[in-house]
């Protein structure tokens, strides 16, 4: 009787650690970001303050030419426990060329901002927009259309839950996005906004659009 040849045993496959597939992609920390060169910013010559219906009409004409806008809002901070914000007090929209800071004191200006935000077919990209959209619904009576939360895009790509504009700019451009804490906690309900407030608000929206374009280069 002829012995049958020994069976060839397949080498055991190397098990993959379960966390290897789900490990988050690394993002720079605050200390690492602080070492980066500053990210470019829009100057006042490319920022328009919009507070009247006529100014809003001009802004609408310019924004209508773009297929995507950077989007953000600012509200007067609340410092007392239980105090409810009546914001947003401004809405920022940006193209790659310019940014518009809309004040919402005037009813006509508010109405035009509501029309812009409800416009379909234009992506409105930004960070941390959950609270922004809820406040807009309450104050302007519209559901913003085609809003893209950029944190969601980064989560889908394996980054930590909340990237934020600083982390996104560091990852995509290897630059440090400058945000003024003083401006961030300033009174956005003021009838007269400071230059620092305008630069802060406009660049939040503009940087969001830059991030969107880097993530979607063919958009």
**What are the tens digits of pLDDT across the range 176-193?**
999 999 999 999 999 999
- The token duo for 203 is 């660049």
- The token duo for 64 is 């209508």
pTM of the model: 0.85
What is the per-residue pLDDT across 57-66, written as a single tens digit (0 to 9) for each?
A: 999 999 999 9
Q: Which pLDDT does position 108 carry in this prediction?
A: 95
Instruction: Return the closest-CA partner of residue 88 out of 123, 137, 50.
Output: 137
- Give 62's Cβ-side CA count (13 Å radius): 18
The pLDDT confidence band at residue 13, using thresholds 50, 70 and 90, is: very low
Indicate whether 79 pLDDT > 70. no
Mean pLDDT of 152-176: 91
Neighbours of 51 (CB within 10 A): 18
| Torsion over CA: 144, 48, 50, 76 (sign) | positive
The whole-angstrom separation of Cα 132 and Cα 200 is 17
Mean pLDDT of 60-88: 87
Residues in the chain: 219
Q: Which pLDDT does position 14 carry in this prediction?
A: 41
Enumerate residues 6+ apart whose C-beta is below 8 A from 93. Answer: 59, 63, 69, 70, 71, 99, 100, 102, 116, 124, 205
Indicate whether 5 pLDDT > 80. no
Pairing of strands 47-50, 99-103: parallel
Q: Which pLDDT does position 4 carry in this prediction?
A: 45
């Amino acid at each position: 009787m002829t012995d049958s040849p020994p069976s060839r045993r397949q080498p055991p496959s190397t098990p993959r650690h379960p966390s290897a597939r789900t490990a988050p992609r690394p993002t720079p920390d605050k200390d690492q970001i602080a070492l980066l060169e500053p990210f470019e910013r829009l100057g006042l010559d490319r920022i328009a303050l919009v507070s009247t219906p006529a100014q809003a009409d001009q802004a609408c004409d310019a924004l209508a030419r773009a297929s995507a806008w950077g989007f953000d809002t600012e509200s007067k901070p609340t410092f007392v426990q239980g105090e409810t914000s009546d914001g947003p007090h401004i809405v920022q929209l940006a193209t790659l060329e310019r940014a518009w800071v809309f004040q919402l004191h005037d009813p006509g200006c508010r109405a035009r901002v509501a029309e812009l935000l409800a416009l379909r077919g234009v992506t409105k990209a930004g960070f941390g927009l959950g609270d922004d959209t809820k406040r807009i619904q309450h104050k302007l009576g519209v559901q913003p259309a085609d809003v893209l939360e950029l944190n969601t895009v980064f989560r889908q790509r394996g980054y930590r839950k909340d990237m934020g504009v600083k982390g996104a700019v560091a990852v995509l451009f290897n630059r440090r996005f400058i945000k003024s804490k003083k401006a961030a906690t300033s009174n956005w309900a003021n009838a007269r906004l400071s230059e620092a407030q305008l630069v802060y608000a406009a660049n939040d929206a503009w940087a969001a659009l830059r991030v969107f374009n880097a993530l979607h280069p063919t958009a």
